[in-house]
Amino acid sequence: MQIVIAGSHGFIGSALVPHLRRSGHTVRTLVRGAAARPSEIAWDPDAGRLDPASLADADAVINLAGVNPGKWPLTTARKRAVLSSRLRTTGLLARTLAGLDSAGPQVMLQASGIGAYGSRGEDLLDEDEPLGTTFFANVVRQWEAATAPARDADVRVAHLRTGIVLGQGGGALGPLLPLIKAGVGGRLGSGKQYWPWITLLDQVRAIEHLLTAPVHGPVNLVTRPARNADVVSALAAAMHRPAIIPVPAFALRLVLGDFSSEVLGSIRAVPAVLDASGFQPTHSDLQAAAEWVVQRG
């Protein structure tokens, strides 16, 4: 397939691009500023500039672009940047796809987040559950709605509600893995909250699967939910380290602000749509997932 990707340099994008190329797909990436090589396409989502002709020959568009909400304190200004960066990129791509004729891309895989549901305790959450009322749930509500022009033009749009991606070098584990490796890691808060996890390998495999699977609408990109304490313990065991020093919830709230809801909230999400589509994860249990993460380090 001919695939165009936005957000190719992030944690997921930097793994997805080589994976797709190894699978035989032709991948072009959207870049801000001038394109430096034939595999790049220049765009400026802040100014609303993207040449429609650059997408005309593509079969699919994957949009992973957006400001990382966990990299810096989630101030009011940062919240605005998190939302606006998603709406600008998604809206521009959706409008551009809608303006193309039938020869243009017929698939749009749009990044989203498992924070869509808010913290729901012990409730099992499939894709039919209503969205929550937290900051991140409201971001998802507007983010997914921004794809409307593409959907209205009969482009198949799937919303990738990504969970806790287990991998080295980024994601929710970015600051946690070094602590566990040093033997000073432990549960976050009570540790009883559910983390819906997936390995980075299965994340990119699932995205590739959804390029051709007849799926539209929200998709929980998770393998299964596990309690935070169990995730931390599995990673520590794979590293042969203890996991006995908890991080108090108040400390996380002090350091992370509103982003603390993403690590302290309980989201027991299940991959109902992904399972029904026939996807089979490589790492189907937490122990195997933890061992893979550690081996990749």
Q: How many CB atoms lie within 10 A of CB 98?
A: 17
pLDDT in tens, 174-194: 778 888 988 888 999 999 999
What average pLDDT does this structure show over 200-224? 98
Give the domain CATH number at 35. 3.40.50.720
**Residue 59 and residue 68: Cα distance in Å, rounded?**
27
Full residue range of the structural domain in which residue 290 is found: 2-296
**Residue 37 and residue 85: Cα distance in Å, rounded?**
25
- Phi, psi for 288 (deg, rounded to 5): -65, -40
Predicted local distance difference test score (pLDDT) of residue 20: 98
Dmax (CA) of the chain: 58
pLDDT in tens, 56-114: 999 999 999 999 887 767 888 989 999 999 999 999 999 999 999 767 899 999 999 99
**Residue 181 and residue 165: Cα distance in Å, rounded?**
18
- Number of structural domains, the chain? 1
For the chain, how many helices (H) and strands (E)? 11, 12
DSSP state of 232: H
